Chain A
Amino acid sequence: AQSVTQLGSHVSVSEGALVLLRCNYSSSVPPYLFWYVQYPNQGLQLLLKYTTGATLVKGINGFEAEFKKSETSFHLTKPSAHMSDAAEYFCAVSESGTGGFKTIFGAGTRLFVKA
């Protein structure tokens, strides 16, 4: 079975600083990988995804992530944090099984941005 591990349940950065949220996955097949963001009292929305092809993936709001097969990682970065980036971020991997496709989510990382 596939799994997703997000290192750090809380990350705090200063406004303008680099954002780095870590995600490692396990998968027995080529993975589809996702980062979702959740703002308070809202559902999740897609930030970016990797399916095939280029391993550096760009998403919305200046975020990007790099798929590293050798490290089984898909870390999320943003060069300069903005106050509006404060939210919870979820890494996810799509799994294929006898019952169809399911998505396994990490436990989430809450990002705090200090002024």
Chain B
Amino acid sequence: NAGVTQTPKFRILKIGQSMTLQCAQDMNHNYMYWYRQDPGMGLKLIYYSVGAGITDKGEVPNGYNVSRSTTEDFPLRLELAAPSQTSVYFCASTEGRETQYFGPGTRLLVL
């Protein structure tokens, strides 16, 4: 099993550009999450999904969008990149309240 995979690993965006961060899991988990991690700030939940076709906002959803058309994939969309979105983004999956499995992260720099 590959677990949770994320692409790309690193990306530089110009202000106003858009991009999609990809996340996929092969553990057949219903729950998937997107977090951002800023230095000294821990993890902040952006969006999450409890199953295909169902998504909900987390703590910091502004400037992001998600979709969940399959159990495996949970892409995160940035429509108009801003410097405040410079961060490391982690995707995770789990079943219910159990252990979350994290991807390796995507490092995003917006200039």
Contact = CB atoms under 8 A, between A and B. Distances in A.
A33 to B, nearest CB: 10
B40 A9 contact: yes
Contact of A105 (B42, B48, B97, B103): B42
B108 interface: no
- Interface residue tally on A, bucketed by range: 20 to 34
A45 B102 contact: yes
Interface string B28-62: 00010101000011110100101000001010000
A46 B100 CA distance: 8
B90 interface: yes
B40 A107 contact: yes
Contacts of A102: 33, 45, 48, 58
Interface in A13-55: 32, 34, 36, 41-46, 49, 51
A1 B49 CA distance: 19
A72 to B, nearest CB: 18
B75 interface: no
Interface residues of B, number: 25
Contacts of B45: 102-103
Given A43-B105, A102-B48, A102-B58, A49 B43 contact: no
Given A34-B99, A43-B105, A100 B48 contact: yes
A100 B31 contact: yes
A44 B48 contact: no
A17 B106 CA distance: 35
Interface of B: 4, 31, 33, 35, 40-43, 45, 48, 50, 56, 58, 90, 92, 94, 96-100, 102-105
Question: 9 tightest CB-CB pairs across the interface, nearest first?
Answer: A43-B102, A100-B50, A107-B42, A94-B97, A99-B56, A105-B43, A32-B97, A44-B102, A46-B99
